[in-house]
A = this chain, B = another copy of it.
């Protein structure tokens, strides 16, 4: 995957991410579910999360995660792939993502 492909979508530098952004992004069960799936199953394309929602709603959730520095998106062929920025986030807000995921239910209906 050439590095240039990352430029197809805007991503904030991790030092520009505020804790407000991360808290807002994770204050939603669908977005926590996306993060959990990426942690447990690795990088995957947007269409494979089985969220059962309108594409515009799903797109909104991915954008919220991207703008909060939680995920990176890149185009691979005709698919938009998602990868977590956990290492960067762990440096910026140590323990925060883990703590929130540990304290919330694993919202994964149908799994």
Chain A residues close to B by CB (< 8 Å): 19-21, 23-24, 26-29, 93-96, 99-100, 103-104
Closest Cβ–Cβ distance, residue A12 to chain B (whole Å):
16
Find out whether the CB atom of A27 lies under 8 angstroms from the CB atom of B29.
no
A95 to B24: give the CA distance in the assembly, Å: 18
Oligomer copy total: 2
Q: List 22 A-B contacts (CB under 8 A).
A: A19-B100, A19-B103, A19-B104, A20-B27, A20-B28, A20-B29, A21-B27, A23-B23, A23-B24, A23-B26, A23-B27, A23-B100, A24-B24, A24-B27, A93-B103, A94-B103, A95-B99, A95-B103, A96-B99, A96-B100, A96-B103, A99-B99
> Which secondary structure dominates where chain A touches chain B?
helix
Closest Cβ–Cβ distance, residue A8 to chain B (whole Å):
28
A3 to B93: give the CA distance in the assembly, Å: 40
Closest Cβ–Cβ distance, residue A4 to chain B (whole Å):
33
Residues of B within 8 A of A100 (CB): 19, 23, 96
Residues of B within 8 A of A28 (CB): 20
